[in-house]
Amino acid sequence: MTTAYRHWEILERSTTGPFMDEDDFLPRRFTPTLKKLIKKYEIKYDPANPCPTDDAMADRIWQAAWDLFREVGYYNTDSHRIMQVSDQEIKEALYMANDSYLVGAGKDAVLFEHRQVEDSKTPFCIMSPDITCDEQYHQSICMAYLKEPLLDGICGPILEKTFGHLIESAGPSEISGCIQHIYNQKMAARLLGRPGTFMVAVGTAEHDSGQIAVSDDNWGVQKTDARLVGSLTEFKTADTLLNRSLHYAQYGSYTGNLTGAIYGGWCGGSEGTAVTTVAYSLIGLIMHGAIFNQHFPFHLNYGSNTTRELLWAISMAGQALSRNSNLLYTSNGFANAGPMTEMVFRETAVHAMVSTVSGWNLWEMASTRNKYRNRATPMEARIGCEVGHAVARQGLTREQVNEIANKLLAKYEDHAADAPIGSEYHECYDVEKAVPTQEHYDMFRRVKDEIADLGIEFPY
């Protein structure tokens, strides 16, 4: 929470703000305002350049996002009222926001920092499969991610069952599953000798009760960890979400705001997706007291963000945030293809290079459209974070990244709709040892060499 004393003033607006029928909020308020602002600020998508270099447009996107948030507000679906803030309050919150936070504990604590466009500072790397997994693989998958050298933070896979019981949101099985989730993750970190690793947890909690149940500095989510609070598409919240941000602030852990503007949905095309994504960072900061924003804009049909219309939006949103604020925000990749396919490695590499050079920190990588159980592995995150480090250390420009991204896009973008779903975790990892199979590693190495040939100088 940047300004804790404001939290109650903001929450109060959920009961005192202007009334609006929920059916009218998106079609009558959000979308028309967004369309008006896109026109006013002359924001235009350029399909030839998935990693554009238009600084002036980045600044206009920032201004459009500011206006969008101020004019539209944030709708509470429980109270049917709109929470609005003033320019003055936005300015105050931005002034008070830190540009870095020390997260994690002890020797494993790491600095999570704001980045510039074309920054030589390497991105902060949060690794996450983002998907659900079978209970029997949960511990192993946590171990496998925590073995990744470039991991700065982890968000573990989501449990579907707890001790054989199907987890139901808001029911007792969810509370049990959430506790099991954090135990597995913390135990994996301890066994691997990095017990203070920064964690974003727990993804198994869909309901506020699940999150609240794991707040414990001894065995649960610690105050040096972070938790996420989501928004409802688009610009909507609910009491169960506001409960979370208040609890996180009162408990004392870090808050991250989780949002995915939908390309093709209420925000329309790439222009609206970029503006909405930037506006969500302001929502996270002011409505939820988030220290970072975790953005995953995605394609309505594919459920991914590695095609050029999404890459453009990601790049422009990152540049807008980087040039005009000192906020922290991670770019969460969603690939079409599944693990142990060449396509998923290429998709992740492109997502990471475009994000990194545009000022983002990284959150890699939801594979297989984030849809299929057990279909994500640390190898996708590995290539993304290695590419991110290389792009930053090498000092690549947006023009250079744009050229490389276009070459890689040519190899996969026609297959977005029929991407291969690849393999499940246990088919491409040794589950007991939590290491990739030789076949999986060889494929990773092959694609990494291909990317190196395009001009990415990997440090190792």
Partner 1 sequence: MSLEELSKLVEDGETEEAEELAAKLLKDGSDPLLMIEELTKTMGHVGDLFAKLEIFLPEIMLAGEALSGVVKVMEPYLDAAGGQQVKGKVILGVVKGDLHEIGKNIVGLILETNGFIVKDLGYDVDPLTFVKEAEAMDADFIGASSLMTTTMPRQKEIIEILLDKGIRDKFKVIIGGAPTSQMWADEIGADLYCKDAKSTPDALTALLA
Q: Which residues bind partner 1 (CB under 8 A)?
A: 26-27, 31, 77, 132, 158, 160, 166-170, 174, 177, 204, 206-207, 232-233, 238, 240, 262-266, 268-269, 299-301, 303, 370-372
Which CB, 263 or 444, lies closer to partner 1? 263
Q: Using the minimum distance from each CB to partner 1, give the nearer residue, 260 or 359.
A: 260
Residue 110 CA to residue 387 CA, distance in Å, equals: 20
Beta carbon of residue 202, minimum distance to partner 1 (angstroms, whole number)? 11
203 Cβ contact partners less than 8 Å away, ≥ 6 residues apart = 128, 130, 155, 156, 157, 158, 181, 228
In the complex, the smallest distance separating the C-beta of residue 167 from partner 1, rounded to whole angstroms, is 5
Measuring CA to CA, how many Å separate 89 from each of 3, 201, 241?
A: 10, 30, 21
State in angstroms the smallest separation of the CB of 319 from partner 1: 23
Least CB distance from residue 28 to partner 1, whole Å?
Answer: 10
| Min CB(184)–partner 1 separation in Å | 17
If the CB atoms of residues 132 and 222 are measured against partner 1, the closer one turns out to be 132
The residue type of 13 is R
How far is C-alpha 337 from the chain's CA centre? Answer: 18
Q: Which is nearer to partner 1, 7 or 375 (CB)?
A: 375
Nearer to partner 1, 4 or 166 (CB): 166
Alpha carbon distance 13, 73 (integer Å): 10
Establish whether the linkage from the previous residue to 365 is cis, with ω within 30° of 0.
Answer: yes
**For residues 121 and 371, which CB has a smaller minimum distance to partner 1 in the complex?**
371
CB of 88 to partner 1, least distance (A): 31
How many Cα atoms within 13 Å fall on the side-chain side of residue 95? 6
Q: Smallest distance, Å, CB 287 to partner 1?
A: 16
* CA–CA separation, 178 and 174 (whole Å): 6
Quick one: which of 342, 358, 363 has its CA closest to 411?
342
**Residue among 115 and 207 whose Cβ is closer to partner 1:** 207
Under 8 Å between Cβ of 153 and 111: no
Cα(215)–Cα(371) distance, integer angstroms:
28
* CB of residue 362 to partner 1, shortest distance in Å: 23
- In whole angstroms, the minimum distance from the beta carbon of 305 to partner 1 comes to 14
Taking the C-alpha atoms of residue 191 and residue 75, their distance in angstroms, rounded to an integer, is 44
Residues 6+ apart with CB under 8 A from 158: 130, 131, 132, 133, 181, 203, 204
- Which two three-digit tokens encode residue 19? 């009334």
Distance CA 407, CA 121 (A): 25
Q: Which is nearer to partner 1, 388 or 422 (CB)?
A: 422
Chain position carrying tokens 């029997």:
136
Nearer to partner 1, 75 or 360 (CB): 75
Cα–Cα distance for residue pair 153/1, rounded to 1 Å = 20
Minimum distance of partner 1 from residue 389's CB (angstroms): 31
By the 10 Å C-beta count (0-12 exposed, 13-18 middle, 19+ buried), 39 is classed as exposed
* Residue 161, CA distances (Å) to 164, 165, 434 in order: 6, 5, 21
Joined tokens for residue 277: 């994504």
Q: Which is nearer to partner 1, 113 or 206 (CB)?
A: 206
Q: Residue 296: exposed, middle, or buried by beta-carbon count in 10 A (0-12, 13-18, 19+)?
A: buried
Q: Are 334 and 306 in contact (CB under 8 A)?
A: yes
Nearer to partner 1, 71 or 160 (CB): 160
How far is residue 30's CA from residue 26's CA, in Å, rounded to a whole number? 5
Judged by beta carbon, residue 265 or residue 384, the one nearer partner 1 is 265
- 262 forms beta bridges with 298
Nearest distance in Å: CB 238, partner 1: 6
Tell me the two tokens of residue 224. 């040096």
CB of 245 to partner 1, least distance (A): 15
